[in-house]
Structure 1
C-alpha cells in the first residue's frame, strides 16, 4: 500500500515571524516534512521533530501531528543536515552566496560521498544553494550553477524543479536559487513539484511544495545505523568533469526527463 509524504521547502531568512508562519502553514496544509534554509531557531528540546546543521543555516522539520516516527538523525555538518523519514533519506542544504566557488566545489564533494552512502534508499536533497542555471528556470547560468548541474548529473540525482517561476523575489529582481533533487528511485515517486506564487511566506523566498509516494512495504537495509557523523571539510571530488561544450543538451534534457518521470 502506498502513502504520501507532503514536503515543503522554504527559506525564512532567520526571521521569527516567517518561521512561525511556516509552522502554522505546515499544520494548515498537513505538510509532513519541511526543509528550511536559514531558520530562525532550532529548538534543542525537539529532536524528535527538528534537526539542524551545526551552524544554524538549514533545518529539517516534521509536523508534530504527522503520522510518522521521530526524525532519525543521520549526519550533520556546516550547511547540511541528513535525517531518515521511514525508508527515505532527506538531506537539507544551504550554501551562502558570499562563499567562493572553490568552497562550493569542496562542499559538493562531501555531499557526493554522503549521497552514494545511501544508494539503496530513496534520497531527497533540497535547499537554497544560491546557484543559477537555466536547467531550473534561471535566465542565465553562473559558474556555481554550471558546477551544480554537472555534479548532480555525475552523482546520479534527478532535478525535480519544473517551470520557470522564480523561487526568490526581491525589490531588485527575481532568482531561481531553491533547488530540489532526488535519487532515481525517489524521483519516480515525486508528484506535483511547484513554486507557490500566491502563498504568504513573510520572506523573500516562495514556498516550494511536492509530494512523495512511499510504500510501506519497502524495507531498505540500515546503512545509517552507524549514527550521526560529520563529513570531511575538504572531501575529495571523485566525480568526473563533463565537457559541456560537446554535450547535446536537447538529448540530455530528454534523457533526464524520461529517467525522472518514467513509471516504476
Structure 2
C-alpha cells in the first residue's frame, strides 16, 4: 500500500516507521535499522546516493542536496533511549554539515506542532531542535495518528533552517495503519520564511524550592497513576509551576 501510494504521488523518497518486516528484511533497495523499526527507499533514479547508514531507531541516506532520516521511537521505551537516538542524529548532523530532513514517529507531544500540552519528550525534542538550528515543518493541526477515537500528532517532519518545505500534507486516505501518510515537497531555492520560535526547557537556576516542596506535598501517592505517561505529565506540570523557561 505504501509503495503504491508513493508511486501514485510520484515520490522521490519513501520513509516508513514500523514497516512490514517481512517485506523489507534483507532487501538491498531498502535502508533499515537492525530491528527493522524504520525503512527508507529511494525511488528517484536521478538521485545520487552519496552515503547511507543506520543507528538505534533510525536510518538515513545522503544525496547531493540533503541527508534524509527515517526515525521511530516507541513511547514505551525509557526517555534515555529517546535521548540516545537524538544524540546520535546530532553527531551525524554535525559531520554531514549539509541540509537535513528528519521524519518519523517520535511519540512526543508539544504545542509547537499542534498538541494541547507538551510532555517530557516534547520538551526534549524542542530543546534539541533549538540547539541544532532545526525547525518543525508540520503544518496545521490535522492528526497524523488515529486509533479508534483517539487521535494525536506523533509524526514529525523536522528540517534545518536552510530547507524549504512546501505543500506539507496529511493525506486523507487509507494506509492500513494507525498512522496516516504525509507528503511534502522540498524546494531547492530557499525562500525567505518566518522561522518558528520555540520555548526552551526549564531554567533550573530559577527553581523555586519552596514552591517545589509545596507541589510535591500535594501529590497523593495512593491515587496518582504510576504509568509512564501519567508520571511524565505530572512531572511536566510540577516543572512548569516551579521553574521559569
The two structures have a TM-score, normalised by structure 1, of: 0.68
Q: Which residue of 1 aligns with 2:227?
A: none
Contact 2:61 2:67 in 1 (8 A): yes
Pairs aligned (count):
195
Q: CA deviation at 1:71?
A: 4.0
Task: Find out whether 1:146 has 2:128 as its counterpart.
Answer: no
**The residue matched to 2:146 in structure 1 has which SS?**
strand
Moved over 3 A (4+): 69-73, 240-247
Q: CA deviation at 1:151?
A: 0.9
Contact 1:169 1:204 in 2 (8 A): yes
Distance 2:59 2:3 in 1: 19
Contact 1:95 1:129 in 2 (8 A): yes
Q: CA deviation at 1:242?
A: 5.6
Could you tell me which runs of 5 or more consecutive residues in structure 1 were left unpaired when the two chains were aligned. Answer: 1-20, 216-239, 248-264
Compute the RMSD of aligned alpha carbons: 2.0
Q: How does 1:1-264 map to 2 (within 5 A)?
A: 21-41=1-21, 42-47=24-29, 50-63=30-43, 66-69=44-47, 71-119=49-97, 121-186=98-163, 189-196=164-171, 198-214=172-188, 243=203, 246-247=244-245
Distance 1:73 1:51 in 2: 11
Distance 1:118 1:109 in 2: 14
Q: CA deviation at 1:68?
A: 2.1
Contact 1:68 1:86 in 2 (8 A): no
Q: Which has the greater radius of gyration?
A: 2
Contact 1:51 1:73 in 2 (8 A): no
Contact 2:50 2:63 in 1 (8 A): yes
Contact 2:17 2:104 in 1 (8 A): yes
Q: CA deviation at 1:212?
A: 0.5
